[in-house]
Amino acid sequence: MTGSRVLFVSHTGAVSGAEFVLLDIADNWHDASAFVFEGGELSNRLAALGLEVKLARHGSGLSRFRRDGSVWAALGSLRTFAGLVRELILESRSVDVIYANSQKAFTLSALAAFIGRKPLIWHLHDILDARHFGKAQRRMQTFLANLSAWAVIVPSQAAADAFIAAGGRRDLVKVVPNGRAVQRDARSKMQLRADLGFPTAKLLGVFSRLAAWKGQDIVLRALVQCPDVHGVIVGDALFGEDAFATELTRLVNELGLSDRVSFLGQRSDVPILMQAMDVMVHPSREAEPFGLTLVEAMNVGVPIIASDAGASREILDEGRCGLLVPPGDSGKLAGALAQVFADPDSVAVRTLAATKRAQSVYTVARMQASIRGIIETIGGRR
């Protein structure tokens, strides 16, 4: 697609939820470039889409700055920040719109856009609240957004409400649900299990990066109460969360689950793995702005149990498309698992409703059209 010239900005070279969304947005956008703070899978995949990708010269030290830390803790990275802002100003000279795809990318893009007088869009993939960000950071983010952003795109009403509650301007917010394109595998569930080497027991799947707030440990404790269920945990510690990954391994041994839990690491075939499951669990302890794995499971027709926090209730249509349980409650999760296996008829009704909802509300085409419309409007206004 041709149109407004866009510079997509990302702080990470890894590919997780927000980066999957960025890849879908950038797909087939021919007059676009990307500025990535560090090399990795994301820059390679953006280049494969045909974008001109520039890797930052000053981005190597940015990972020390935690999103839930204080602003004062970031002072040691000021030279890195200044170098990145200078690079962004230079890279944005020939574009119509800067599009920041993460919180760190936005912070620096806001300064570059203000100095370089460029329209800026922030795609906010986070819940901007005290559980995820420090107080000073929330104030700084909303101040910069109110000052420099022409639009703040969020994937759910939960994320919109949090941004506004933190002090962000309501008129900036554009709610655009994430989309996910997923094709079902033609093989049956049993054939997939045989091909993937999974046991024939009841299978529970968890699909997210390994992090304490993602709640994989809650699933392990629930499995203790469900002795006939085997757990499959897919994902890795992507952003310095290796200690939690080690803790999960220790907990498996402590709970006597070593023969009933499989860790598969980071995988590129998540939709296929999901189809082999009897149920997909989304066990986040804290509110999430969205849940791409929820939409993937909805598309492939797998029953869902999710923590009732953040966007999960919105995506699952108030529980009509999956079971909702209190976050952090392994007992309630175990009860929901028992319900899934004991009442297949009601589960089938929810699962069918979930598939229909995913294919009408959470499509890549719908997301792309909405976001490209926002970009073109802002590019034209400039």
pLDDT in tens, 189-229: 999 999 999 999 999 999 999 999 999 999 999 999 999 99
- Which pLDDT band holds residue 241 (cuts at 50, 70, 90)? confident
Q: Does residue 215 sit within a domain?
A: yes
Same domain, residue pair 62 and 133? yes
State residue 72's pLDDT score.
Answer: 41
Angle at the Cα of 137 from the Cα atoms of 144 and 165, rounded to 5 degrees = 75
Q: Does residue 303 sit within a domain?
A: yes
State the chain's mean pLDDT as an integer.
92
Q: Does residue 17 sit within a domain?
A: yes
State residue 80's pLDDT score.
Answer: 81
Same domain, residue pair 123 and 175? yes
- Residue pLDDT, tens place only, 267-308: 989 999 999 999 999 999 999 999 999 999 999 999 999 999
Same domain, residue pair 206 and 354? yes
Determine the Cα–Cα distance for residues 115 and 45; give it in Å rounded to an integer: 30
Same domain, residue pair 219 and 264? yes
- Residue pLDDT, tens place only, 121-162: 999 999 998 887 888 889 999 999 999 999 999 999 999 999
The helix/strand/coil state of 260 is coil
CB atoms within 10 A of CB 40: 16
In Å, how far are 107, 124, 248, 317 from 103, measured between CA atoms?
6, 7, 28, 28
What residues contact residue 35 under an 8 Å CB cut-off, 6+ apart?
Answer: 7, 8, 9, 10, 53, 54, 56, 87, 88, 91
Q: Does residue 228 sit within a domain?
A: yes
Q: Domain of 71?
A: 6-179+363-381
% helix, strand, coil for the chain, step of 5: 50, 15, 35
In Å, how far are 9, 197, 199, 298, 299 from 271, measured between CA atoms?
27, 16, 18, 10, 9
**Phi and psi of 260, rounded to 5°?**
-125, 10
Say which range, 72-76, 325-329, 332-336, has the weakest mean pLDDT.
Answer: 72-76
**Phi and psi of 213, rounded to 5°?**
-75, -10
Same domain, residue pair 229 and 326? yes
- Domain of 369, CATH number, reads 3.40.50.2000
Q: Does residue 157 sit within a domain?
A: yes
Q: Does residue 1 sit within a domain?
A: no
The helix/strand/coil state of 6 is strand
Contact 282, 209 (CB under 8 A): no
Determine the Cα–Cα distance for residues 141 and 133; give it in Å rounded to an integer: 10
Determine the Cα–Cα distance for residues 136 and 72; give it in Å rounded to an integer: 9
The CA-based diameter of the chain, rounded to the nearest angstrom, is 61
Same domain, residue pair 269 and 377? no
Say if residue 333's pLDDT is above 60. Answer: yes
State residue 276's pLDDT score.
Answer: 97
Say if residue 3's pLDDT is above 80. Answer: no
State residue 71's pLDDT score.
Answer: 45
pLDDT exceeding 90 applies to what percent of the chain? 82
Same domain, residue pair 155 and 32? yes
Say which range, 65-69, 239-243, 282-286, 356-360, has the weakest mean pLDDT.
Answer: 65-69
How long, in residues, is the chain?
382
pLDDT exceeding 70 applies to what percent of the chain? 94
Say if residue 65's pLDDT is above 60. Answer: no
Exposure of 167 by Cβ count < 10 A (0-12 exposed, 13-18 middle, 19+ buried)?
A: middle
Say if residue 61's pLDDT is above 60. Answer: no
Same domain, residue pair 241 and 377? no
- Judged by phi (left if over 0) then psi (alpha if -120 to 50, else beta), residue 202 lies in beta
What residues contact residue 168 under an 8 Å CB cut-off, 6+ apart?
Answer: 128, 141, 142, 145, 146, 152
Q: What is the tally of structural domains in the chain? A: 2
Same domain, residue pair 130 and 240? no
Determine the Cα–Cα distance for residues 114 and 124; give it in Å rounded to an integer: 18
Q: Does residue 260 sit within a domain?
A: yes
Q: Does residue 184 sit within a domain?
A: no
State residue 211's pLDDT score.
Answer: 94
State residue 28's pLDDT score.
Answer: 83
Same domain, residue pair 169 and 28? yes
User: How close are the terminal C-alpha atoms of the chain, in Å?
Assistant: 19
Angle at the Cα of 368 from the Cα atoms of 364 and 374, rounded to 5 degrees = 150
Contact 296, 274 (CB under 8 A): yes
State residue 239's pLDDT score.
Answer: 75
Say which range, 73-77, 254-258, 361-365, has the weakest mean pLDDT.
Answer: 73-77
Contact 7, 34 (CB under 8 A): yes
Q: What is the mean pLDDT of residues 84-88?
A: 93
Q: Which amino acid makes up residue 352?
A: L
CA within 13 Å, CB half, 24: 23
- Which pLDDT band holds residue 1 (cuts at 50, 70, 90)? very low
Angle at the Cα of 351 from the Cα atoms of 349 and 187, rounded to 5 degrees = 125
Determine the Cα–Cα distance for residues 302 and 231; give it in Å rounded to an integer: 15
State residue 52's pLDDT score.
Answer: 94
Say if residue 66's pLDDT is above 70. Answer: no
Give the containing element (helix H, strand E) for 229: strand 229-234
State residue 381's pLDDT score.
Answer: 66
Same domain, residue pair 371 and 351? no
Same domain, residue pair 86 and 216? no
